[in-house]
Structure 1
């Protein structure tokens, strides 16, 4: 099987530094840890580490440790013998056997139990393991790449992760920057995801309005690239369903697809929260941590967008609606770079 390394979209120095780190680490046949918040691209980085390594023609096996119970994870990783537990009617080959000669990616490694961590310790150190319920010692030649979104040294100090396993996994550690630290990359990524959505819909992408660009850069994106991808594709799909040829404006409702005045009450401590009054539309929500100038710019451009949309782009009528002179509106358009054409990043798998 011939693999392909995932291509990268992003130009921020923090991101380019992480990519350089990955490229240096990939050829070294040693374990690696990938640390980062949810949605920062840990799985794609692990894949890149594999396909840039000497093992690129070997198998690449992925296991989400958080998705399985203790016994099921043990069986998934190391296999089991017939009769090892209720329902084990046949011998099962584990992922470490299947990954022989290649790479195994252990996502959410911090969720593995102490028992599984002990078995991982032995297979990372010696390449040896036993199937669940078995006595025969098996061997495998596997590179282990593990990932987590928590600080493992503090987990060790809290007694929730084995120090000796961490020592063996942490030959080198790649820590991925969150999207909020990658200045300018949110716009590049949003443009890429939106264009891909438009192609799927067989529509032309009209670009983002200046207010949308400002808001995309100013928003903190707690879900990182995954959240941005969903938002950019959602807002594009909504705009192109009823196309009017105008640039796509930022829509706060697209940030949370569950937002609705009829949304059921939240569940807190096992019981439903008392419904609150519906939010008033059209009032920008201040975001702590975002500079005052950025939020002011977002508010101004959203007002301009709304006025222009209401009058089919007629600037004189838009100025009148806003209570401005024509020349004042023209000054604001220049101030906020209206008319600047968005870039067109190449199609690629993204991080």
Structure 2
């Protein structure tokens, strides 16, 4: 953890913070999971909303986040932490001794403290090692992957996770460059991508989509999201809610489809007799898609792309 983060763990204010906590904390004495602890913005506000009988479990991949979580746990017995991905919600809840939970909150993507630290390698705006791992103890780093992946795999990743139309040109440049020397820094990769992209967007750095795609691939973000959504929904008690904040279309489409399908209930072929209970779903959409207010967007530009969705369990199936 950097000195700045140790000194000021609240320097990053979570997007849609107050409303997200208001929607997820349905009972002050309930059991809750903050699946993306980060620097604890959501968790601290959730704890303020809990009674002395309430409990909160924070999960994060990042060792720097877990250091903050450990300090929070030492000062509040209602809070505990689990070092891992929210895809491991089942394991984390089992370790905590919880069969069911009253709410799960997921704030997706990379956090501002991670972007702001050049040593983490997430941002093309600051030169640093080409790492991009949310958990630096895991492998491979972005540099290691780019050094060994086949050209077609690199192109497919940049297209799938970044929706970059020049993905093949970029992959070709990566393979050509690494034959001369390894690509080891964020500045090297950003310059390479900029050279490979023939048409630049007026208001977006040409490396934006490529950096996003490689980060999502290295950290298995969509795969973890699919697993985490399913595990969280199944752990909810009746009346419990799953609240998810996403920041780009790939995440939001996955969340929207998952929640919509659960709320619609099981697909039963025509002609098969069913009871009323079999026709209705155990879940409902507790809200329409929610976006940040104009005031929050003015204060935090990252909020501009945020979308929050809420799923509620109605009864046990």
On whether the aligned pair clears a TM of 0.5, the verdict is no
Does 1 or 2 have the higher relative contact order (CA < 8 Å, sep 6+)?
1
Q: Compare CA radii of gyration and give the structure with the larger one.
A: 1
TM-score, normalised via structure 2 length: 0.32
